[in-house]
Amino acid sequence: MAKIRKLTKNQKRRIQSNHYNKINKKNIEWQDDMLGHFDNGLVIARHAKHADVETENGEVFRCNIRRTLKSVVVGDKVSWRKGSEQLQGISGVIEAIYPRKNELSRPDYYDGIKVMASNIDQIIIVSAVLPELSLNIIDRYLVICENAKIPALIVLNKIDLLNDDERQEVEKQLDIYRNIGYQSLCLSAQTGEGMEKLDRYLSQGTSIFVGQSGVGKSSLINQILPESNILTNKVSTNSGLGQHTTTASYLYQLPQGGKLIDSPGIREFGLWHLEVEQITQGYIEFQSILGLCKFRDCKHNTDPNCAIREAVEEGKINRTRFENYHRLIESSKEVKGQRYFKNN
């Protein structure tokens, strides 16, 4: 009997893609006379070929997306038109996207730079104190925030698992970031400690959670919105589709004011789409010193008369941050060298 060969990841990906395309090959086409007037809306969920649009009065409709639109993401402000009737659960068409004030993007091996969300007022970096607080991961996210020009808030979850001495040590580590202008919170989604402070931050515009798996982002959302499935049910009622439709990203309207975006696709960010100069610019404490090095192409490592390294030696720049900076650069170079990346 012939041995059955296992499929590669790329083969599985192509098979799944072809299967999906066959299921969806009959696209719903709207004639212009079937569509109403233009309305403004906010994209609160993005699916494979559709998006859920919330109107100014809070109604939610699942819409097709014009093929001329390159990308529609959660947080987009759009112009859309409602159909005269539902077609296979679709209620209208997104016609245009208003200019974005910012974008949060991540690199993708297959799609190049992929925009995940837009029009964000703050990025909330969620980390956990156990098994060990990773400053390297926090620094990675901060580089992303600085390059996107979006303010960051550092949130440490599971603080209830630490004793008093351990809490003091964590506070010292957070002082590294507070001393250069970043804000931070220690809290527990399990006990509710510190959640009222987070609520005050969340009430200020549109926020998005980023962080690795296991840090408790889902637990935080359950604390903030214990009945978060209400929005999904509302979409289900209006669109005629089941509430368990897979969603890549979702925007929640918060009861205390403000909006919160949760996106499974941004659990982890690589930096290999950034140039070395962009990673350097992602370190805000370097900014007043850059340009003072003896050599214009200074690598800020063993180069003579390096102003950055001298600032580290004088205690003006935290040594851990400086060491993480070089780790991020080396890691980025290593990944870039492993495989081709399409930079859009």
Binding site: what residues are annotated? 157-160, 211-219, 293, 298, 300, 306
Based on the number of CB atoms within 10 Å of its own CB, is 137 exposed (0-12), middle (13-18) or buried (19 or more)? middle
Strands 51-55, 152-157: pairing is unpaired
Which residues are CB-neighbours of 188 under 8 A, at least 6 positions away? 157, 158, 159, 160, 194, 195
Contacts of 134 (CB under 8 A, 6+ apart): 127
Closest CA to 247 of 259, 233, 258: 233
Instruction: State residue 66 phi and psi, 5-degree precision.
Output: -55, 135
Feature table: binding site for GTP: 157-160, 211-219
Inter-axis angle of helices 164-178 and 135-148, nearest 10: 30
Instruction: Name which of 13, 249, 11 is nearest 114 in CA terms.
Output: 249
Summarize the annotated binding site for Zn(2+) as residue ranges: 293, 298, 300, 306
Partnered with residue 97 across adjacent β-strands are 78
